[in-house]
Amino acid sequence: MPKVEIKRKSRLTRQEVSERLIALGKALADGSEIELSSGGDSIELTVGDQIEWELEIEIDGDETELEIELKWKDTTETAVASGTGADDSDEVAGSDSGDSGDPDVDDDPVAALELTAIEELGVAADLEEDAVAKLEIAAELEQEATAELIAAAALEDDAEVELETAELLEVESIVAEESATAEAAAETGPAAAAGSAG
């Protein structure tokens, strides 16, 4: 089969995304053929019995990205004939899910897929809440830093005022000393002149 790549991006509500994920899960559970549609186009795919599952969560600032990647070979007969089968790594579907403990969920693949999707959405919501809390803490720290800068500027202004006051007091002190010296010279000047004349 030639290489085919189809990409569609759209902005959906949380409810619309939930409905699409549930529809995909039901289609996978009902049989090996699923039909996907987006923007008026549709494609029908045959899904293998063994599916590689990859989950990636990335949080960057206020943006959260959740990627779910499903990958499979066309038929399981091809995989068995070539000597490959189910992989024990965490990337193969079902290897890390285990038994849920609920017989209804364990017997119903759709319910199991829905449960897995709900759990992963819960993890993503928790991560988003953590990111929001970190942003709130950062905002509070920024406000505290701003308040400290304002206080430092006020202290600097106070220090400048105190220096100007000290300079004025020094000038007044010098003027007072010069005035006192001049008065003393003026008082002793006529008396000294009278004493030398007599």
- Residue 74: domain span: 14-142
Q: Cα(163)–Cα(76) distance, rounded to whole angstroms?
A: 87
3-class DSSP state of 44: strand
In a domain, 157, yes or no: no
- Overall domain count for the chain: 1
In a domain, 115, yes or no: yes
Task: List, in sequence order, every residue forming a beta bridge with 66; answer none if it has no partner.
Answer: 57
Under 8 Å between Cβ of 8 and 38: yes
In a domain, 88, yes or no: yes
In a domain, 161, yes or no: no
> Would you give the DSSP letter of residue 194?
H
Which region among 26-30, 31-35, 82-86 has the lowest average model confidence (pLDDT)? 82-86
Q: Cα(56)–Cα(100) distance, rounded to whole angstroms?
A: 22
Q: Cα(110)–Cα(116) distance, rounded to whole angstroms?
A: 10
Q: Cα(50)–Cα(74) distance, rounded to whole angstroms?
A: 10
Under 8 Å between Cβ of 47 and 33: yes
Q: Over the stretch 100-119, which tens digit does the pLDDT of each residue have?
A: 455 554 566 677 777 778 88
In a domain, 54, yes or no: yes
Q: Over the stretch 133-181, which tens digit does the pLDDT of each residue have?
A: 888 898 888 888 888 888 888 888 888 888 888 888 888 888 888 888 8
Residues 82, 87, 92: CA angle, nearest 5 degrees: 125
Torsion on CA atoms 141, 144, 145, 149, rounded to nearest 10: 170
In a domain, 22, yes or no: yes
Compute the average pLDDT of residues 18-35: 84
